[in-house]
Chains A and B, each alone.
Chain A
């Protein structure tokens, strides 16, 4: 079975960049990489997505390797409100499959 793996947890100092990695055992050419975050038990919130090019929006940047099996979500200046579980998601035909998630703790 295809697997998406992420570190279980990470810490980041407030104001510093948080770099969250994600690895896919397999990824097809038409499968997008999405990132979502979940604060406590609320519904997950969209952050960013991409296919093969690096992407940036007002929240974050997404770096995707050339073979597309790895991606990194970058929160450029982490704040305490960024403490959450971050999910890497593979989106293919009619499915969004969530990874195991990284619990990010931003430290004051």
Chain B
């Protein structure tokens, strides 16, 4: 158990809909990272927040947005969903921000299926 909690674990929805994925970082961790993993693909970096502030963006679509709240949990919002958005979405946390923060602790992911 990494200490990172992601909900929901599974989600099935239709094209055009909007969903919200939630992540609670490990106790004391200030950084949250979001990744997308499509079927049999690697992990694509989406976005990084540190203590409520956006620190870095990766290949995140304009239809996607995220935020980190004062209690440090984070939400990833996916809207106008398309079939190609079906993927595993991982959240990871770390204590600090930057290149040598030590290990990232990953949650077990939220599996999104768009029909």
Q: Contact residues of A with B, CB < 8 Å?
A: 30-32, 34, 36, 41-46, 49, 51, 87, 91-101
Please choose the segment from B14-22, B61-69, B70-78, B104-112 that sits at the chain A interface, where 4 or more of its residues have CB less than 8 A away: B104-112
Contact B58 A95 (CB under 8 A): yes
Enumerate the 4 nearest inter-chain pairs by beta-carbon distance, A residue then B residue, closest first: A43-B106, A46-B103, A94-B56, A94-B55
> Nearest Cβ in chain A — how far from B43, in angstroms?
4
Contact B97 A43 (CB under 8 A): no
Contact B90 A44 (CB under 8 A): yes
Complex Cα gap A28–B71 (Å): 34
* Nearest B-chain residue to A31, judged by Cβ: B99
* Nearest A-chain residue to B49, judged by Cβ: A94
Contact B106 A44 (CB under 8 A): yes
How big is chain B's contact interface, by range?
20 to 34
Contact A87 B99 (CB under 8 A): no
* Contact A30 to B109, CB < 8 A, known contacts A44-B90, A87-B42, A96-B33: no
Given A94-B97, A99-B42, 15 extra CB contacts under 8 A: A34-B103, A42-B108, A43-B4, A43-B92, A43-B107, A44-B104, A46-B103, A51-B100, A87-B42, A92-B99, A93-B56, A93-B98, A95-B45, A95-B56, A98-B42
Complex Cα gap A100–B111 (Å): 20
Contact B99 A43 (CB under 8 A): no
Q: Contact residues of B with A, CB < 8 Å?
A: 2, 4, 33, 35, 37, 42-45, 48, 50, 55-56, 58, 88, 90, 92, 97-109, 111
Complex Cα gap A96–B105 (Å): 12
> Nearest Cβ in chain B — how far from A105, in angstroms?
15
Name the B residues within 8 Å of A95 (CB-CB).
45, 48, 56, 58
* Nearest A-chain residue to B58, judged by Cβ: A95
A-B contact pairs, 23 of them (CB 8 A): A36-B104, A41-B37, A43-B90, A43-B106, A43-B107, A44-B104, A45-B106, A46-B104, A91-B101, A92-B99, A93-B99, A94-B48, A94-B50, A94-B55, A94-B98, A95-B45, A95-B48, A96-B92, A97-B58, A98-B35, A98-B42, A98-B44, A101-B42
